[in-house]
Structure 1
Amino acid sequence: MKRRQFLGCLTAAASSYVLVACGGGGGASTGSATNAAGGTTAVANASTTGTSTASPDGTTVPSATSIVDNGANVWTLSNGYIYKNGVKDPNSYNVIMLLWYGGSVYQENTSKAFYQYTGTTWIACLDPRLGGTSADGTAIPPASYIIDKQNNQYTLSNGYIYKNGVKDPYSYNVSMLLWYGGMIYQEGTGGQFYVKTWMNTWKPCRDPRINLAATAGSFYGINGHYDYPFTPTQVVTALQALGCTTYRVGCINTSTQLSRVVALAKAFQTANMTLFSLLDYGLRDSTGTLFTSESAAYSASYTGAAAIATALAPYGVTMYECGNELTRDPAIILNSATAGTSNADFNNANWPIMRGSIRGMIDGIKSVQPGAKVGVNFCVADIAASDMLWDGFQPDGSGGHPTVRWDITTWHNYQPYGDIFNVGTDGAGPGFNLPSYCKARYGVPFMITEWNASPEQNETFRSTYVTQQLGEFYAARKTQGIQSVMYYELTSGDYTYGIVLDDLTPIQPTYGSFQSFAKSNPDN
């Protein structure tokens, strides 16, 4: 079966930058040096190299007159300049302190910025004595600072947020700062929470620490297709043997596809199981041509969605997913290797077409079943896409466009995308907890409607991966609102994705790992 293009790699972006200059000018002396405390000390020369032992951890100049590193190099400070074995460092000035800590030499300059020596150059950092990344859940107050995964330091003073000492221009009347799930949150004096995104904006949200417990009964799921070589009864039996209660299957409004999905719906209703219907409408008409406008896409998908809901509603189908990986359509994503955390990842001109198609599916379903639950799915780390739809924004930053509201946030999470609870950003930057972010932003249940290891992995690897992933998903049911996780897929006709073969023979040991986990961890 033809499937997706995996996220192969993300362009690396350094979390620090090379120091070009640390401050202003100043003179240097030779032979002797005046330290910042006002004393005069002899400048070590290269002949001392290799004859000294390293300074005690935490030594500073001042108050010490020199630092000796692990290579027996002697570091001194004079008139704001650094000297290594008596040789002036050409890339630093206005230095007020040298620090030996954890096996590295650091400097602090007059602007209170810290830099670490790498052996060839200096890179920006924080004072290493602050302790590194803050513990998840750290809040100011009572803490005095927060350090994020990129080594930025956040503080709070008189209701204003400071990042590395620079005042945030977009926040005021802040009563609390919070580090949670790899993200920075603030609470205003009025009680409203906001989360800082990678677009350097603050988005309104809920307190991410508040647990969201999803409805039990549909946690274990699996994907299938309307054209499988099985009867509806065989599908039900196969899912029951595996421990699954939810089956995701897609269709559009054609007699061949819809009639088969209706037959599945009847069988699932009788078995008291959940059929989760994917409406497979998108950006193109029946000839494969992009719709010409948002309204044209809306009309086409509205009609199809209403017809599908009309056919399935009598048989107990109450949950629908509107579109499949539309944010990853080549007409929408500009570069498939990007994670989706920036508005600029997406095509501005075609964005309204996608929005129109999704809105049309939602409205078409609701016109028939007002109480039905609708979901919109995303991939990788597409929170810029989900935020833009939710808030009515375009990739160019313009607002005031139609907003999209869903009852279930749905996501696809394959092995190459990374751990969804610590997924990377554009530039493969430090990870964040994606379900936690979505819980805070949208406040609705979360479903992982496709997940699996890479197709080239062997079954031993896949078996271990299944156990590990189900363990993570299961642990987050009652806190991050994860209502269902749907393995991809029941059968792929080979060993790339399926958990059974076309004759329903289990693919071991993956099948056994899934079955055993579901049996040992009830969905209640």
Structure 2
Amino acid sequence: MKLRLMVLIVLLASASATLTAHFDGARNRDGPKGPQVSTAGRIPFYGVNGHYVQGGVYSANIPQQVADMRAMGITSIRQDCYSTADTAKMASLVTSFAPIKIQPVFNVFPTTTDETTAYNQYYAYGKTVAGQLAGKVAVIEMMNEPENMYFKNGPSYGGQDVTEWATSNSQWPAFRGAVRGFYAGFRAVDTTKQTLIASPSVGWLHYGMLEGLWKGEAPDGSTGHPTATWDITNYHWYHDFGDIEDARGVNTLAAIRSLFNLPIMLTEIGVQKRVSSSVYNSYLASSFAEYASKAKTYNIVGVDWYELYNFQDIDGFYMGLYRSPGVVNTGRATAMASAVAANPAP
């Protein structure tokens, strides 16, 4: 009788432990990094940046915005979102922008320093956003340039190692929890990857931040932390950074291709400092030629020019291809149309 009772107790304990582990895993841990999903034909290769939710020129006259993009051969528009209300708005605009595809950025950063709290909050965000957008958009991004918009201090050098953010180490656990939580929450709803998820975007040589997330490393040099995952590595590169294949002797495209072995999206490329019209147009042509010709080498699946319309005044310089809907900046829209035509999407 005692033996039977002991066996029963062991079996019950084992079943309870299994159930608890399953529940905790579903709620608090990331799933395994599954097989890569093909991006072929799913993500528009040529896109531009827009700012619908910020108002102004981007919040009016959508038919003309679509016409302007189509005139240049552009097929997607990247839209920043700062809440689940904004992502719901994007879901409602999918038909209005068609055939142009909307590419949302969930640009929300943690307000806590606790990893578990951030994970749970972003798990809920991920489930909500997936319910709104899964299958309606090809890709969604997690956070825009956290090294500039979230962390209080920049890297101590180029940013190729996560330890260069040591002075911001207190912010790291919540950041990691947020990235892990959003992906897991989204995948809890979108289990078949109807919509792919891009990593937080970083620029210059800051891929050390992404490597730290990917490998479970922290800025204080500690290892063995929970790892983050994504479907596409997201990067930014501008004219003043120089050559992306040779910046301070570093081939950034080769580095992030080797580190993550995932498709790459360049969701912001452009000219952000005052240059002449000829330099602007020349950079547009050369960068599109470079990325299209190297797409197979590095598995580049999309490039998004910054930006469609004049929006932000940077010391009297605007980055837009158009001044406003239907009103071109001299030469820029023509240069874009020529670049797209000369470099067919891979």
- Paired residue type of 1:411: Y
Which residue matches 2:338? 516
Decide which of 82, 99, 107 is 1:252's aligned counterpart: 82
Residue 303 of structure 1 pairs with residue 131 of structure 2? no
Alignment of 1:434-445 (within 5 A): 434-445=252-263
Task: Report the alpha carbon displacement of residue 298 of structure 1 after superposing the two structures with TM.
Answer: 2.0
Match of 2:280 in 1: 462
Per-residue deviation, residues 396-449 of structure 1 (Å, max 9, x unmatched)? 22111010111100101112223211123xxxxxx2211112222211110100
Task: After superposition, give the CA deviation of every residue in 1:130-153 in whole Å (9 maximum; x if it has no partner).
Answer: xxxxxxxxxxxxxxxxxxxxxxxx
1:340 is matched with which residue? 159
User: In structure 2, what is the Cα distance between the partners aligned to 1:383 and 1:343?
Assistant: 8
SS of residue in 2 equivalent to 1:402: coil
Task: Work out whether residues 289 and 343 of structure 2, in 8 Å CA contact, stay in contact via their aligned partners in 1.
Answer: no
User: Which of 221, 224, 230 in structure 1 is aligned with 2:50?
Assistant: 224
Amino acid at match of 1:304: Y
How big is the alpha-carbon RMSD for the aligned residues of Structure 1 and Structure 2? 2.2
CA contact (8 A) 2:115 2:173 kept: yes
Q: Could you give the per-residue CA deviations for residues 181-230 of structure 1, whole angstroms, max 9, x where no partner exists?
A: xxxxxxxxxxxxxxxxxxxxxxxxxxxxxxxx963561111111123233
In percent, how many aligned pairs have the same letter? 27
Give 1:265's aligned residue: 94
For residue 496 of structure 1, the aligned residue among 310, 318, 322 is 318
Name stretches of at least 5 consecutive residues in structure 2 with no aligned partner: 1-37
8 Å CA contact 1:309–1:368 kept in 2: the answer is yes
**Per-residue Cα deviation, 1:359-409 (whole angstroms, up to 9, x for no partner):** 122122212212131111211111221211110001122111010111100
Task: State whether residues 90 and 102 of structure 2, in contact with CA within 8 Å, keep that contact through their aligned partners in structure 1.
Answer: no
Q: Counterpart of 1:160?
A: none
SS where residue 478 of structure 1 aligns?
helix
The answer (yes or no) to whether the contact 1:378–1:411 under 8 Å persists in 2 is yes
Cα displacement (A) at 1:264: 2.6
Give 1:338's aligned amino acid.
Answer: Y
User: 2 CA distance for matches of 1:214 and 1:330?
Assistant: 29
**Structure 1 counterpart of 2:172, one-letter code:** W
1:446-485 alignment to 2 at 5 Å?
Answer: 446-485=264-303
With over 3 angstroms needed to count, the CA separation of the structure-2 counterparts of 1:331 and 1:441, relative to structure 1, is: closer
Question: Quick one: distance in 1 between partners of 2:78 and 2:65?
Answer: 12
**Contact persistence 1:277–1:319 (CA under 8 A):** yes
Deviation at 1:254, TM superposition (A): 4.7
Q: 1:390 aligns with which of 211, 214, 219?
A: 214
Q: What is the deviation of 1:283? A: 2.8
Correspondence for 1:276: 103
Counterpart secondary structure, 1:501: strand
User: Structure 1 pair 254/351, CA: closer, same or farther in 2 (3 Å)?
Assistant: closer
TM-superposed CA distance for 1:282, in Å, is 1.1
CA contact (8 A) 1:326 1:332 kept: no
| Residues in 2 aligned to 1:330 and 1:354: alpha-carbon distance in whole angstroms | 9
Structure 2 equivalent of residue 68 of structure 1: none
Structure 1 residues 406, 259: closer, same or farther in 2, change over 3 A?
closer
Count of aligned positions? 295
Secondary structure of the 1:471 match is helix
- Tell me which of 212, 234, 249 is aligned to 2:64: 234
Name the CA distance, whole Å, in 2 between partners of 1:225 and 1:309. 21
Three-state SS of the structure 2 residue aligned to 1:324 is coil
* C-alpha deviation, 1:234, in angstroms: 2.9
Partner of 2:204: 380
The Cα of 1:455 is off from its aligned counterpart by: 2.8
TM-score normalised by L of structure 2: 0.79
Specify the alignment match of 2:8 in structure 1: none
One-letter identity of the residue aligned with 2:219: P
Task: Determine the C-alpha separation between the residues in 2 that align with 1:244 and 1:364.
Answer: 31
More contact order relative to length (CA 8 Å, sep ≥ 6): 2
| Higher strand fraction (1 or 2) | 1
The CA deviation string for residues 427-484 of structure 1, in whole angstroms up to 9 with x for no partner, is xxxx221111222221111010001113322322211111111111111111111111
Task: For residues 112-143 of structure 1, give each alpha carbon's deviation from its aligned partner in whole angstroms, at most 9, with x where no partner exists.
Answer: xxxxxxxxxxxxxxxxxxxxxxxxxxxxxxxx
Aligned-partner Cα distance in 1 for 2:132–2:162: 37
Deviation at 1:506, TM superposition (A): 1.3
3-state SS of paired residue (2:324): coil
Distance 2:110 2:157 in 1: 21
Tell me, in whole angstroms, the C-alpha distance in 2 between the residues paired with 1:309 and 1:238.
29
Residue in 1 aligned with 2:20?
none
